[in-house]
A and B are shown apart, each in its own frame.
Chain A
Amino acid sequence: GAGVSQSPSNKVTEKGKDVELRCDPISGHTALYWYRQSLGQGLEFLIYFQGNSAPDKSGLPSDRFSAERTGGSVSTLTIQRTQQEDSAVYLCASSLVVRATDTQYFGPGTRLTVL
């Protein structure tokens, strides 16, 4: 596609429910990144994928968070048993490869609100 797309754009859920956030990267980009932006905060790195592999999961805030990527394209970030502190904008980015020189192109984000 022309850019990184994310769905849904907004998600309101009740505390304790599970949510799935989807990211569709730019076609041909093998690297995919997830970030979280809480209100008034900077960007918090969560996880990155090179292809379908996620070599470093240390950025995930808790074991309630998981992410997968299949077919080297679409990725899903799953939050189980959501808590109010999970409310944030979740941003996805992609780049050609996982390399510090590669520019990351960001999607519009999913705004998650946990009631």
Chain B
Amino acid sequence: AQKVTQAQTEISVVEKEDVTLDCVYETRDTTYYLFWYKQPPSGELVFLIRRNSFDEQNEISGRYSWNFQKSTSSFNFTITASQVVDSAVYFCALSGANTGNQFYFGTGTSLTVIP
């Protein structure tokens, strides 16, 4: 089965703290792709990153970093030195090469950064 679990429903942090958003996935595909999207209060989903299952290198982009571990089927997202503008709902998603190109989204983690 294809499934994405984001166990953290809501997280609140104080500005400048680091925060990690968890994502655990299940898939029967050997080739698959993982995504993170941000949904700010305005509502429009914004693409953040895509990783494929063959590349387990961690990715860093500014204050954002992603830790992909196949051994634990996790693709966690860390925001360093959080800012108020980071407040949003963050979705992790999975797409498999053999699952008709459907995207499977987690239920999202609502992050609130308190000034």
Interface size on B, residues (CB 8 A): 29
Residue of B nearest to A55 (CB): B100
| Interface residues in chain B, defined as those with a beta carbon under 8 Å from any beta carbon in chain A | 6, 31-33, 35, 37, 42-47, 50, 52, 91, 93, 95-97, 99-108
Query: Contacts of A2 on B, CB cut-off 8 Å?
Result: none
Choose among B33, B44, B50, B105 the residue that contacts A109 (Cβ–Cβ < 8 A): B44
Interface residues on A, range: 20 to 34
Interface residues, chain A, CB within 8 Å of chain B?
A: 31, 33, 35, 41-43, 45, 48, 55-56, 59, 89, 91, 93, 98-101, 103-109
Residues of B within 8 A of A91 (CB): 45
Q: Is the interface of A mostly helix, strand, loop or mixed?
A: loop
A89: B residues at CB distance < 8 A = 43
Contacting pair B105 A103 (CB below 8 A)? no
- For A99, A104, A105, A108, the residue with the greatest tally of chain B CB atoms inside 10 Å of its CB is A104
Alpha-carbon distance A93/B106, docked complex (angstroms): 17
> CB < 8 Å: which of A43, A48, A55 contacts B91?
A43
**Cα–Cα, bound, A89→B99 (Å):** 25
Q: Are A100 and B45 in contact (CB under 8 A)?
A: no
Q: Distance in Å from the Cβ of B26 to the closest Cβ of chain A? A: 15
**B103: which of A33, A41, A105, A107 is its contact (CB, 8 Å)?**
A33
Given known contacts A42-B91, A48-B102, A100-B32, is B47 in contact with A105 (CB within 8 Å)? yes
Distance in Å: Cβ of B110 to nearest Cβ of chain A: 9
Q: Is B106 in contact with A42, judged by CB distance below 8 angstroms?
A: yes
A59/B44 in contact, CB under 8 A: no
CB of B107, distance to nearest CB on chain A (Å): 4
Cα A43 to Cα B4 in complex, Å, equals 11
